[in-house]
A and B are shown apart, each in its own frame.
Chain A
């Protein structure tokens, strides 16, 4: 496979995912501007759910037959560009620095738990759909 094509679809997917993440951030600041990064948690949950769903739907026993480039566009590009580990950690640090260790702990605990549940749920739903 042409490596340039992979970079192109991943760049395009990441650009779309990244601007969607930015839009969600703007929306969050307008809707419910509280000092807790709930939107980053939601973004990471949604991205984890979609990657789990798509990976299994298009995997070896999957019902959806798509090429490698489509998998790279959705999983590496869209989901990878939409979700973020850097903002998640920066927000945990900001909570720690503002003297809110419990909120920082809640951010870490909620993000890890809910995103892992989301990716598992996506995978289970896809397995059901594959049958």
Chain B
């Protein structure tokens, strides 16, 4: 039944990505792919948090359906590598090399930091 949770989670995550990235882009502007960056950082934070929660000793330890729904489904559907790649390519094609490089560095550094912070936070929450 895991796959059914993945389907529902991915659909919700994908729609949330469209809504959030669009609203961030409208608010901050579209000269830099802020929308995708914000979405990927948030999704990385949440997947880190739940990885700790469903992992050994976590508050939701062994809850496979929670992992399938939240991590593989919602976080997987919410975050995107393809839009990140396409937006980086578009910046490079427009000759905006510093922005393309900044997108790569910021996405990599901030998402790694976010997944670590989420995991650390989840490890703080006492297990059941």
Contacts and interface: CB of A to CB of B under 8 A. Distances in A.
- Contact-residue size bin, chain B (C-beta under 8 Å from the other chain): 35 or more
Interface stretch (B25-33, B38-46, B57-65): B38-46
B112 A17 contact: no
A48 B18 contact: no
- Contact-residue size bin, chain A (C-beta under 8 Å from the other chain): 35 or more
Interface in B15-54: 15, 17-19, 40, 43-44, 46-48, 51
Interface in A81-114: 81-90, 92-94, 108, 111-112
Interface stretch (A18-26, A27-35, A62-70): A18-26
Contacts of B18: 6-7, 10, 72, 76
Q: Which 8 pairs between the two chains have the least Cβ-Cβ distance?
A: A14-B14, A18-B10, A83-B81, A85-B79, A119-B85, A48-B85, A15-B11, A79-B82
Nearest to A115: B85
Contact of A93 (B82, B85, B119): B119
Q: Which of A18, A47, A50, A119 has the most CB of B within 10 A?
A: A18
